[in-house]
Amino acid sequence: MAFTPPYVSVADGRTVVTSVVRALAVVAAAFILAALFGQLGMAAFGVDTLDPSQVAPGLYAALNALAFVGFIVAALGFVVVRDDRSLIHVRSPTLGDVGWALVGVVGIFVGAMVMGVVVEVLSYLADALFGVVVETGQNSIITQGRSNPQLFLWMVPVALLFVGPAEELVFRGVVQGLLRRSFGLVPGLVLASALFGVGHYFAISSGSAWTYILVAGSLGLVLGAIYEYTESIAVPALAHGLWNAGLFVLNYYLVTTGAELPV
């Protein structure tokens, strides 16, 4: 396991344009298919809305899982159509990979804390210099779960089995793979993480979008780094799933007990 060079290496213009266009197309296809699969699921179950106050938490979670199948189809579909299986780092998992996934979770936590400070500083400057009050962006599922905490528990297996693997296949596997080929490891990782952050715009229910995008982007940097180091898509998929699942369990505990974080 190691970071494989070249770390920075810009390909010819044609390759760069082709890779960037394909990366953006895969991301667009992932969101389009996610919406399509979600709508098909709603039609199949006779659901008119995803308002958790009107939908059972188990069904809500199932429909979310179905939507992320769209991400998996987009990523694997691209690999199969292009017959480019070397694009995604895949190997047999080992016990050590679990350890690296846990390292990734710790890294995500540290990255989120650091980016949280950056957001606080930028928010203060926006208020002091321009009179703009910044509210931290909130994830829609977290917001909805606070009024129906059972939703958090239902989303734990969805995070582990669908969200983590699906988003990692798209953003770390295909997108980062394409950008790595065109720009080298470091620029590819940074650009893929930025796109990952922007992609989370659709998950925001309230607050300033840029705050949530920055935090998600920092998460992407950590996941991208452990992906490149371990050369296994399973490692960031597990780390991502564990992080999201941990957030759901933590929010369930806070809502049901009325406890507050000591920070």
pLDDT digits (tens, 9 = 90+) for 95-129: 999 999 999 999 999 999 999 999 999 999 999 99
Q: Is the pLDDT of residue 262 over 70?
A: no
Query: In the prediction, which pLDDT does 53 show?
Result: 73
Q: How confident is the model at residue 207 (pLDDT cuts 50, 70, 90)?
A: confident
Tell me whether the omega of the peptide bond preceding residue 6 falls within 30 degrees of 0, making it cis.
yes
Other CB atoms closer than 10 Å to residue 54's CB: what's the count? Answer: 10
What rounded mean pLDDT belongs to the chain?
A: 94
* DSSP type of residue 46: T
Instruction: Name the residue among 82, 68, 87, 103 with its Cα closest to residue 202.
Output: 68
Query: In angstroms, rounded to a whole number, what is the distance separating the alpha carbons of residues 232 and 65?
Result: 23
If pLDDT is split at 50, 70 and 90, which confidence band does 263 have? low
Backbone dihedral angles phi then psi of residue 139, each to the nearest 5 degrees = -70, 140
Q: Beta strands 204-206 and 138-139: pairing type?
A: antiparallel
**pLDDT over 90, % of the chain:** 81
User: What 3-state DSSP class applies to 235?
Assistant: helix
- pLDDT the model gives residue 206: 84
Alpha carbon distance 8, 185 (integer Å): 6
Q: How confident is the model at residue 48 (pLDDT cuts 50, 70, 90)?
A: confident
